């Protein structure tokens, strides 16, 4: 009865990913201030357009409070994917240039493997 099992805290589950803060500094302060202004204007305006302003202001407030923007993280992911593709294309271009240089060097020395393949291969 005196044996107590230690309970470990689960940091995140597969369905709950930890949100990183990708909004800092002046951008976060601007989101907070803009959100407050938009909510205030929307409440004073009323109607459907006021409701839209309140909703947009709420999103800006949430972005400023949490420090996380899903739209910004999607843009950053797209940028990273584009950089990865650019790096792969650059490596492929370098490999192609190396192959071309090797082919030119082989034809200069007279070793054209298509016309006279090496014996025993």
- pLDDT for res 120: 53
Name 13's bridge partners. 16
pLDDT in tens, 98-116: 999 888 887 766 665 655 5
- If one counts the domains in the chain, the total is 2
- pLDDT for res 95: 94
Q: Which domain does 27 fall in, by range? A: 21-68
**Average pLDDT of 41-65?**
94
pLDDT mean across residues, the chain? 83
Residues 64 and 86 in one domain: no
Is residue 50, in this structure, part of any structural domain at all? yes
Residue of higher predicted confidence among 117 and 63: 63
Other CB atoms closer than 10 Å to residue 55's CB: what's the count?
Answer: 13
Residues 76 and 103 in one domain: yes
The residues near 13 (Cβ < 8 Å, ≥ 6 apart) are: none
Residue of higher predicted confidence among 53 and 9: 53
Q: Length of the chain, please? A: 121
């Amino acid at each position: 009865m005196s044996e107590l099992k230690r309970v470990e805290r689960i940091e995140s589950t597969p369905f709950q990913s930890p949100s990183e803060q990708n909004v800092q500094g002046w951008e976060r302060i601007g989101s907070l201030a803009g959100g407050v202004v938009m909510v205030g204007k929307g409440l004073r305006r009323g109607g459907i357009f006021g409701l839209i302003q309140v909703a947009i202001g709420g999103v800006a407030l949430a972005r400023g409070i949490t420090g996380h923007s899903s739209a910004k993280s999607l843009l950053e992911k797209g940028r990273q994917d584009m950089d990865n593709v650019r790096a792969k294309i650059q490596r492929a271009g370098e490999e192609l240039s190396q192959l071309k240089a090797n082919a030119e060097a082989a034809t200069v020395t007279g070793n054209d493997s298509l016309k006279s393949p090496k014996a025993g291969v």
